[in-house]
Amino acid sequence: MKLDTAANILAKIGNPTRLKIVRLLVRAGDEGMPVGMIQKKLGIPGSTLTHHITHLKSAAVIRQERRQATLVCKMEFDVLRNLVDYLTEECCADVASAEDAA
Amino acid sequence: MKLDTAANILAKIGNPTRLKIVRLLVRAGDEGMPVGMIQKKLGIPGSTLTHHITHLKSAAVIRQERRQATLVCKMEFDVLRNLVDYLTEECCADVASAEDAA
DNA sequence: ACGGTATTTCTAGAATTATCAAAATAATAA
DNA sequence: TTATTATTTTGATAATTCTAGAAATACCGT
């Protein structure tokens, strides 16, 4: 993963509202969650929610699939996994601590 | 870790310049790296570098220790580790993939 | 086609963030 | 103390981001 890509993803999920969305979707698993339900849970205007969803989509953190009249948001788990790998592959490489076995 | 804390850390390291600093310090390990050397590696003005270092310190991502005339920046590895844990404890919990054994 | 629900686009103001030159401070050596 | 190197503070400008109201679009049942 390129540094700019990682920085972009980190910046996107580094906003409290968007991190809340990410957490909801992570818990929702592969089923995802409709925009409307996210809006209810967060209690914010639709336009504001769309703004944040657009950010998350632009970094491929989430994707949307239409199911009937509702749009379902789903976590891109691979992207999140790659991001964590990017951080951990460098992280702690020089720090052979005892906690590794935990 | 509180959501706002995690979001703040993510936002801080979600900037290309600051992510570069983090990577340098992660590679530097517990020895750390002086501000001046970081500045040489990144090729940016000192005032700009200080601005970003201040951000990283405010989120406790790094700390500074004076050694003679130079200030040495060091990674707070525990904070980074906690952040990754925060993301991974929720992440992939519902996604039992085959790559887990890798 | 019409009405209702779901969601986005447009728009704009407020708030935050990034950048860097210039001046100031800190530590050390001569 | 003066000079020198190292780093920060100040201050100003430019750019980005957040927020949300109003209007527009998309889909579906009748």
How many structural domains are present in chain A?
Answer: 1
Residue B1 has pLDDT above 80, yes or no: yes
Long-range contacts of A45-54 (CB under 8 A, 24+ apart): A48/A17, A52/A15, A52/A17, A52/A18, A52/A21, A53/A21
Q: Is residue A84 part of a domain?
A: yes
Q: Where are the alpha helices (DSSP H) in A29-76?
A: 35-42, 46-58
Q: Is residue B94 part of a domain?
A: no
Closest partner residue to A80 (CB to CB) among B16, B83, B91 is B91
CB atoms within 10 A of CB B48: 12
Mean pLDDT of A19-46: 94
Q: Is residue B99 part of a domain?
A: no
Q: Is residue A27 part of a domain?
A: yes
- Whether residue A80 lies within 8 A of chain B, CB to CB, comes out as yes
Q: Which domain holds residue A43?
A: 3-88
Residue B100 has pLDDT above 50, yes or no: no
Q: Is residue B83 part of a domain?
A: yes
Radius of gyration of chain A (CA): 16
Q: Is residue B59 part of a domain?
A: yes
pLDDT digits (tens, 9 = 90+) for B27-73: 999 999 999 999 999 999 999 999 999 999 999 999 999 888 889 99
Question: Chain B 44-63, CB below 8 Å of chain A: which residues?
Answer: none
User: Backbone phi, then psi, for A100, in 5-degree steps?
Assistant: -60, -30
CB of A34 within 8 A of CB of A72?
A: yes
Q: Is residue A62 part of a domain?
A: yes
pLDDT digits (tens, 9 = 90+) for A65-83: 998 889 999 999 999 999 9
Q: Is residue B30 part of a domain?
A: yes
User: What residue has token string 């995690």?
Assistant: B6
Contact A29 B92 (CB under 8 A): no
What percentage of residues in chain B have a pLDDT greater than 90? 73
**pLDDT at position B102:** 36
- Whether residue B100 lies within 8 A of chain A, CB to CB, comes out as no
For residue A33, the domain's CATH number is 1.10.10.10
**pLDDT at position A91:** 59
CB of B92 within 8 A of CB of A77?
A: yes
CB of B27 within 8 A of CB of A90?
A: yes
